[in-house]
Structure 1
Amino acid sequence: TVNHVKTVTVPRSWTQDLSFSGLYLIFSFVLNEPDRPYVETFKLETENVKHIRILLYGPVGAGKSSFISSVRSILRGKMSNLALSNYVTHKVNKGKESIYPFVFIDFMGLNEDSDKGVRLDDVRMAMEGHVKEDYVFNPVAPLNKDSPFYNPSPSPEQKVHVLVCAYSANVLSMNNSVLQKMKAIREAASSLGIPQLGILTHVDEACPETGKDLKNVYKSKHIKKKMQDFSAALGIPLNCILPVKSYSEEIQLNEKVDALILSALRMMLDFGDEFIEYKL
């Protein structure tokens, strides 16, 4: 059953131009058989890596921290509001004595000004595992190899295994300066062989019908166009871009929000697992 769910949670049908009504039925199926069991029982079989390291990047306001908080909320069964600071690894507790076999890392959003936000060479060093915990990114100067926050010999566990680009569906158009930075990060990841995917955030705000009922995300021509534009701008395949809505004003969990978040998380785990098995 779990394998069957895996084949339908990713909206590959958009690349095949199938009817929106078919996508609606797919999402209805996902609600009945969610990806939660897969995520909750997921294990890495390798000895040298215990946690898939997922790096999120994107423009300011793209919703990276909200996505991480939403994953924590869903898997812990209660609302979580994660305060992000510096360069830290965000773990998700699994009960009282263990954590899930994946972690998130995040940094400040990409800014159109060259003297603001994280530097591209720092991002590459982070992907290679050279940046230690609690490092404060300096927009003016990159991490120096003489710094105590520089890791000269990163282990496979400390390297990034999946790169995720977050972009808001509620933004009219991509700023060209930010877009060029996003492309540069993507190219750096590609040179390292790191698998990549995208999450289109704030879909409920971008489309009124989707805001009323999240199942309409797979019927919305506006959301489909946003995903196509996202794919064309960055070169990420359309079937590797997933629409999500993170928790923001809610005080209780919602199965439709959960379904979209878990579908995206499952793809991240699958991509990271494959990278660790065959590339590290």
Structure 2
Amino acid sequence: MGGGNSSPSPPQPLLSAPWRNLPQDKKEDLEFVKAFQPGNKNVKQLRILLHGPVGAGKSSFINSVNSVLQNRIIGRAPTDAISGSSYTKKYKTYKIRNGQGSHYPFVFSDIMGFEKDTDRGVHVDDVILALKGHVEEGYQFDPTQRLKEGDEGYRSSPTLNDRVHVLVCVIPADKVSLVDDKVVKKMREVRLAASELDIPQLAIITRADLACPEVKKNVNNAYTSNYLKEQVDKFYMLLGIPQNCIFLVKNYDPDPNINADMNALIMNALRQMITFGDDFLSDP
């Protein structure tokens, strides 16, 4: 009868060509970041807010950026791999030293992670207040009670420096399909609020090496990984963030040594965050 086996062949772990090209010079994005100055002279520092589910790697990404720029492993933002709940409890701003006795003109704001239960994790309204600059440094998040005007920790008259200039969603590559629907709903609400405020948005997918064995072997395979491309597409369907605004990274956790290939992924994502934020600040 002939015909053979008509079942589809399994997807290849690596594509024949990368679906995104990084600069050939691995230090190009790093040099851009080091030389960056905000176009808006009324702003001292560009503020990047990270949000996402508990354990996504928000604090680890901050440490990784710091590690790249300091050329040594840094662990200032506390992380915890075993608690199962958000290790970040307070609204915390992280500055990064530039080696010249001052700091780079961008900062990261770290917040409590989202959880599916209503009495756990950061409240959506608190994140939206942070976008607008109403959350004061050091405010202790209370999952059971949202921050409101008149409360300790509420900033009544935020300046442009207090506001968020770019919003970054963080999610682990090995759990894109496992994010609870209630958590996705919370992230969508924050995304909608940011859109109404014209705040630019992008996303980073962490733990690329844990999700794909080929990337674990060689981090340069990140953007040729068929599996990771599928995760990016799934994440786009979840939140609507365009694929060209979703970046893959491998954080320096638990890696103890600086690696130029890991640096390239981290700096490529950071460069886009800075560019988006600076465009936002430069708009009339």
* TM-score of the pair, normalised by structure 2: 0.88
Q: Secondary structure at the match of 2:205?
A: strand
CA distance in 2, matches of 1:97, 1:262: 22
Partner of 2:146: 142
Partner of 1:94: 98
Deviation at residue 148 of structure 1 after TM alignment: 3.0
Are residues 1:230 and 2:225 paired? no
Partner of 1:127: 131
Q: Is the 8 A contact 2:60 2:77 kept in 1?
A: no
Partner of 2:24: 29
Partner of 2:122: 118
Partner of 2:110: 106
Task: Pick from 177, 196, 201 the counterpart of residue 196 of structure 1.
Answer: 201
CA distance in 2, matches of 1:25, 1:101: 28
CA distance in 2, matches of 1:130, 1:233: 28
Alpha-carbon displacement from aligned partner over 1:58-81 (angstroms, at most 9, x marks no partner): 001100000000000000111101
Residues 165-184 of structure 1 correspond to what in structure 2 (within 5 A)? 165-171=169-175, 172-184=177-189
Q: Secondary structure at the match of 1:160?
A: coil
Structure 1 residue identity aligned to 2:128: R
Partner of 2:44: 50
Task: Pick from 210, 218, 226 the counterpart of residue 215 of structure 2.
Answer: 210
Deviation at residue 250 of structure 1 after TM alignment: 1.7
Structure 2 residue identity aligned to 1:239: N
Task: Pick from 162, 186, 192 the counterpart of residue 191 of structure 2.
Answer: 186
CA distance in 2, matches of 1:89, 1:193: 22
CA distance in 2, matches of 1:147, 1:178: 26
Task: Pick from 243, 267, 270 the counterpart of residue 275 of structure 2.
Answer: 270
Deviation at residue 96 of structure 1 after TM alignment: 4.5
Partner of 2:8: none
Q: Is the 8 A contact 1:58 1:182 kept in 2?
A: yes
Q: Secondary structure at the match of 2:42?
A: coil
Deviation at residue 275 of structure 1 after TM alignment: 0.2
Deviation at residue 30 of structure 1 after TM alignment: 4.5
CA distance in 2, matches of 1:24, 1:200: 15
Q: Secondary structure at the match of 2:158?
A: coil
CA distance in 1, matches of 2:37, 2:253: 30
CA distance in 1, matches of 2:25, 2:240: 27
CA distance in 1, matches of 2:105, 2:152: 27
CA distance in 2, matches of 1:81, 1:130: 27
More helix as a share of residues: 1
CA distance in 2, matches of 1:118, 1:230: 21
Are residues 1:59 and 2:53 paired? yes
Q: Is the 8 A contact 1:24 1:216 kept in 2?
A: no
CA distance in 2, matches of 1:144, 1:183: 21
CA distance in 2, matches of 1:178, 1:192: 21
Cα distance, 1:263–1:205 mapped onto 2, change above 3 Å: same
What count of residue pairs does the alignment treat as equivalent?
A: 260
CA distance in 1, matches of 2:19, 2:130: 39
Structure 1 residue identity aligned to 2:203: G
Cα distance, 1:230–1:30 mapped onto 2, change above 3 Å: farther
Unaligned runs of at least 5 residues, structure 2: 1-13, 79-87
CA distance in 1, matches of 2:39, 2:158: 20
What RMSD, in angstroms, separates the aligned Cα atoms of the two structures? 1.6
Q: Secondary structure at the match of 1:53?
A: strand
* TM-score of the pair, normalised by structure 1: 0.89
Q: Is the 8 A contact 1:130 1:152 kept in 2?
A: yes
Which protein shows a greater Rg?
A: 2
Q: Is the 8 A contact 2:57 2:172 kept in 1?
A: yes
Deviation at residue 95 of structure 1 after TM alignment: 1.2
Alpha-carbon displacement from aligned partner over 1:120-174 (angstroms, at most 9, x marks no partner): 1111111000110100011111113112311111000100000000011111422
Deviation at residue 82 of structure 1 after TM alignment: 2.2
Partner of 1:72: 66
